[in-house]
Structure 1
Amino acid sequence: MDEVRVLLSTYGSRGDVEPLVGLAVRLRELGAEVRVCAPPDEDFAERMAGVGVSVVGVGQSARALTTAAPPPSMGNLPQRAAELIASQFEVMPAAAEGCDVLMATGAMPAIAGARSIAEKLGIGYVSAIFQQLTLPSPQRPPLAYPGRPFPPEVTDNRALWDLDAQSIDALFGEALNTNRASIGLPPVDNVRDYAFGDRPWLATDPVLDPWHETPDLDVVQTGAWTLPDERPLPQDLEAFLQDGAPPVYVGFGSMAVRAGQDAARVAIEAVRAQGRRVLVGRGWADLGLIDERGDCFAIGEVNHQQMFRQVAAVVHHGGAGTTTTAARAGAPQVVVPQLADQPYWAARVAELGIGTAHDGPVPTVASLSAALSTALSPETGARAKAVAGTVRTDGAAAAAKLLLDTGNPRR
């Protein structure tokens, strides 16, 4: 069998990069050559290097963009998208040279830009997303882009999805088509549908994120792309975990900036109100401890799969990856959603009975303590352990095989 060469492309936060680690490993196990285009953040490159895959940097640092002021808005989103797409057109043709198939995920303009490169090179193409809310479906409304709310009088879901396509074209169409023209490609008149293609992949777990078939779209649900993480926990963290009852983990990852510097104080006081010890994930806001009491411990990047098996509950922002990792570990969850798909994941956690959804993005000591009281109940704990056994573990392997079939139809 000829070796298949694969380019994986993404742009976003850690949650958009981490799944590609699992996919890359499974692809290499099947004999493929793998390259990755991703934001030029050092921690992303180090994570990929740990599994023997090199990263070609595209666009600005995702961390710098997330923590920069002002936040994304109708005013600056088109410019940021234009810069990203221009960077893709500059570096991706060389990265994709000799590849048989390109898989794109991440931000919408990044997916559309990546498909344009695949089109120019005449290679196979697949889009993938890590939550279903951006896939058109008559069963629910789309998410609104910053600064572009939907008219309150429009309530029909199909009409709202039409408006969603118009918003995406208004935000990203000019930048995409200008760059396409620069390499001799015709303009695209529906950026969203072009980016997703005829058969997008939904890389989420069917139990946590059930996709309901629609006649409008042929979606392939592969399962979440995870990889067994055997990295040992730091010795000082292991010592803390063993030195008392299981603590509650609190971490907001790349959303820590939005949660605010007061998030650490609120979280620590709320967990203490439940009589529990606390693990604080520093995240992109570098959250820390509020005093020197021995019931708290702050951590940076660690193996969540291993750690979540040893905690009493996980308080987090509701990213797809963290939600899935906590669910697989059987850890009860409190989701404090900040934006985008996070309220959806919070609702799914509550619906499944494996945790609670905090009402709003800014908790108080009282509101977080109340949510923790439910999450720490025996009933929630039992339900979390039961659901853990139903979460698929083969999503990355299934996606790898499908992707190689796309890149080499003779297989």
Structure 2
Amino acid sequence: MRVLLSTYGTRGDVEPLVALAVRLRELGAEVRMCAPPDEEFAERLAGLGVQLVPVGPPVRELMRGTTLPSAADLSRYRTEMVGTQFDIFPAALDGCDVMVAAGLAQIAARSVAEAAGVRYVYASYSAVNLPSPHHAPPPRPGWPAPEATDNRTLWELDAQNVNAQFAEPLNGRRASIGLPPVDNVRDHVVTDRPWLAADPVLGPWHETPGPDVTQTGAWTLPDERPLPAELVTFLDAGAPPVYVGFGSIRPSPDIARRAVEAVRAQDHRVLVSRGWAELDLVDGRDDCFTIGEVNHQRLFGRVAAVVHHGGAGTTLTAARAGAPQVVVPLQLADNPYWAGQVADLDIGAALDSPTPTMESLSIAFKTALAPETRARAQALGGKLRTDGAAVAANLLLAAVR
């Protein structure tokens, strides 16, 4: 079996497909992946023996500022990406039996698979990205914010926004390869039988008339890397610290600085992850330590709480470790959804604003650091699955056979 995996985004978009690739290779499949050309992704895939097919500009370039590109620039990037995918996907798909596309940015994927007669599977990492009356669509940067409040109406408006952006370039390219036009681009990409690669306890799908969703569990791999010696020394030198990190998101430095101050006000030590924002808040005091890329699976079991932006991967890793969470959602993609899940499950606190105050952070930390919150987080951590990527790999193998 030959499989093409495809996504475009930050590490949180790429790593789940890396996990699926590893499980597919264990079943004897040949795997290649379309992903951004960033060096870290190329090195990651090369180390696993998975061929990278670079698509689009490096993501770090798009995420280099503390604010997103303008609406006009985002619109241009999105339109250009459709053409890029139509140009690159056919050769990447050559000889493959199935294509798995993750994320709405994969506008051309189904069309190219359709033209090649190859099976197509769409996967989402969060329930909020799939149409349902149980939740509103996620925020989509650069598009007008709807004024409606009813979820069904919001999803209808979301489909109109997706069509306004993509219908013309998509249908123009479909016509050029002999395919008929589609009238609902979003639902065309998502299909009526999408997969949900999220843990059913942490991020369940609520059945509803609509997409026939297969929830496989989250796609992750065990990480056996040891922690750096300097970090272990810091951890061993006192009580468990609070981790503060925002991954590939570049928040305002004030947000991270306020978080560190609020942690210290609770008499806790602090670990600051540099991330793509290159945060460095060390001020000479021995209660704060800055780290780069480390094994979060090992680290989060040794911290008092995890402060983050609400990424699916960080939320899951902290939950599996039984670590209470404080989520500062930056109103991007699925961040508000995961913040809501943390709050609803009582395993931490979620802030309503992407620019928290010292007062709101103080309240959030008191909630997260309470003994009863840690007890709930540890109880939930024992219920989360670890076999999602293997489940998905076996489903693909069975479908092709």
Q: TM-score, normalised by structure 1?
A: 0.93
1:12 counterpart = 2:2: no
**Deviations along 1:55-114, whole A, 9 cap, x unmatched?**
1110011111122587245433331111112221222212111110000012x2x32211
1:396 counterpart = 2:393: no
1:95 counterpart = 2:87: no
- Cα displacement (A) at 1:268: 1.8
- Cα displacement (A) at 1:365: 3.1
* Larger CA deviation: 318-327 vs 48-57: 48-57
- Cα displacement (A) at 1:20: 1.1
Amino acid at match of 2:68: P
Matches within 5 A, 1:171-320: 171-255=165-249, 257=250, 259-320=251-312
Amino acid at match of 2:340: A
* Larger CA deviation: 76-85 vs 275-284: 76-85
Over 3 Å counting, the alpha-carbon distance change for 1:156 and 1:372 in structure 2 is: closer
**What's 2:112 paired with?**
117
Paired residue secondary structure (1:111): coil
**What's 1:364 paired with?**
357
- Cα displacement (A) at 1:146: 3.4
Amino acid at match of 1:6: V
**What's 1:164 paired with?**
158
- Cα displacement (A) at 1:118: 0.9
- Cα displacement (A) at 1:215: 1.7
Contact 1:247 1:276 in 2 (8 A): yes
Separation (CA, whole Å) in 2 of partners of 1:50 and 1:370: 43
Over 3 Å counting, the alpha-carbon distance change for 1:151 and 1:39 in structure 2 is: closer
Separation (CA, whole Å) in 1 of partners of 2:29 and 2:41: 21
Paired residue secondary structure (1:283): coil
Over 3 Å counting, the alpha-carbon distance change for 1:271 and 1:70 in structure 2 is: closer
Paired residue secondary structure (1:112): coil
1:328 counterpart = 2:323: no
Paired residue secondary structure (2:4): strand
Contact 2:125 2:198 in 1 (8 A): yes
Contact 2:66 2:252 in 1 (8 A): no
**What's 1:77 paired with?**
74
- Cα displacement (A) at 1:150: 5.4
Separation (CA, whole Å) in 2 of partners of 1:313 and 1:155: 33
* Larger CA deviation: 384-393 vs 52-61: 52-61
Q: Aligned match of 1:65 in 62, 66, 82?
A: 62
**What's 1:22 paired with?**
19
Runs of 4+ in 1 over 6 A off after TM superposition: none
Contact 2:133 2:152 in 1 (8 A): yes
Unaligned runs of 5+ in 2: none
**What's 2:141 paired with?**
146
Separation (CA, whole Å) in 1 of partners of 2:279 and 2:262: 16
Q: What is the aligned residue count?
A: 400
Q: TM-score, normalised by structure 2?
A: 0.95
Unaligned runs of 5+ in 1: none
Separation (CA, whole Å) in 1 of partners of 2:146 and 2:259: 37
1:375 counterpart = 2:372: no
Contact 1:223 1:394 in 2 (8 A): yes
Contact 1:252 1:281 in 2 (8 A): yes
Paired residue secondary structure (1:265): helix
- Cα displacement (A) at 1:291: 0.7
Contact 1:332 1:354 in 2 (8 A): yes
